[in-house]
A = this chain, B = another copy of it.
Amino acid sequence: MDAERTEIGTLGEFGLIAELTKGLEKKQDSTQLGVGDDAAVLSPAAGHRTLVSTDLLCEDIHFDLTYAPLKHLGYKAVVVNLSDICAMNGTPRQIVVGLGLSNRFSVEAVKELYDGMRLACTRYGVDLVGGDTTSSRSGLTLAVTAIGDAPEDRIVLRGGAQDGHLLVVSGELGSAYMGLQILEREKLVFKEAPGAQPDLTGHEELLERQLKPEARKDVVDELAKLEIVPSAMIDISDGLASEALHIAAQSGCGVKIYEDKIPMSEKMYETAREFNLDPTLCALSGGEDYELLFTVPQDRFEDIRNHPMFSIIGHMTADAAERTLVTRNGMEAELKAQGWDGLQSDA
């Protein structure tokens, strides 16, 4: 695996940057100047608004290098930021990347990380236009800022939902969380018997959702094709419940979700059962799905109901205090955000 190991110190900061950014090709017309000067130069399309979002990923908080391959980590770090631009109904165009590295990382390791970032850039047609690479006293830190745009009349905030609007989600929920459970289990097994091979077969779908998620740019494109501008939208990073409550709070509405409408994959459902976990709870609070959750007026019902990308899971209500989960047996429970909170988990 680590046959070759070049210390970062042998290249120096400028040498490392030159090595990492070698052969970067520009994919966006709006990228006028990328890496190599004091700042990147962008030329946003006339009439479009610029969208900016940033995320900071810290080792042992957001990722565990015991089981997250560096290439996947690079990919994911980019994707979670692009997802925020998609959540505004925008198109991601560029990223800048800050990288903090302890000296336990070799040049080869950093290249792997960068390969993942480049792969995400290629997949989403995004340009890496700048960055800062530096040492850190401990562990790996990844700071990604994504820049995108959208015509002003297509930008979707979290606060535009109204009473009666349908609550819609793309894809399936809970899989990323179950992927994490599998990885944590195998890590424990490995700790107890270091020679043991991890048993990940048959779990590829869930593992991929955790280790290499995708941003739903295809949903943004599909909404444009359907000529739908959602009244509110958010991406699911902390969990369905938490995000639905954000939309409700920022829109001044209540929200009602039907348990039997929440989309889950068969594999995720079975695995949750195997782990003695409630599949609904995993879907509601697992997080890291990076699906898009949005609201549309009822007159768009026909466009959405049988569309393979979407599930209508509930609707907004007039009473701002309402936060209801209607269970499979018709009971009404309080919808609670038990999303993974990076800060509380450290308290």
Contacts and interface: CB of A to CB of B under 8 A. Distances in A.
A313 interface: no
B88 A133 contact: no
A297 interface: no
A239 to B, nearest CB: 13
A50 B33 CA distance: 10
Contacts of A152: 43
Interface core residue of A87, A88, A343 (most chain B CB under 10 Å): A343
A208 interface: no
Interface of A: 7-14, 16, 32-33, 36-44, 46, 49-56, 58-62, 84-85, 87-88, 90, 94, 96-103, 129-139, 141, 143, 145-148, 152, 155, 157-159, 233-235, 250, 341-347
Nearest to A346: B135
Interface centre among A137, A139, A145, A344, by most chain B C-beta atoms within 10 angstroms, is A145
A147 B52 contact: yes
A310 to B, nearest CB: 19
A137 B59 contact: yes
A343 B13 contact: yes
Contacts of A341: 12-14
B53 A346 contact: no
B41 A155 contact: yes
Contact of A132 (B55, B94, B132, B148): B55
A16 B343 contact: yes
A343 B101 CA distance: 9
A13 B238 CA distance: 11
Contacts of A39: 51-53, 84-85, 87-88, 90, 146, 148
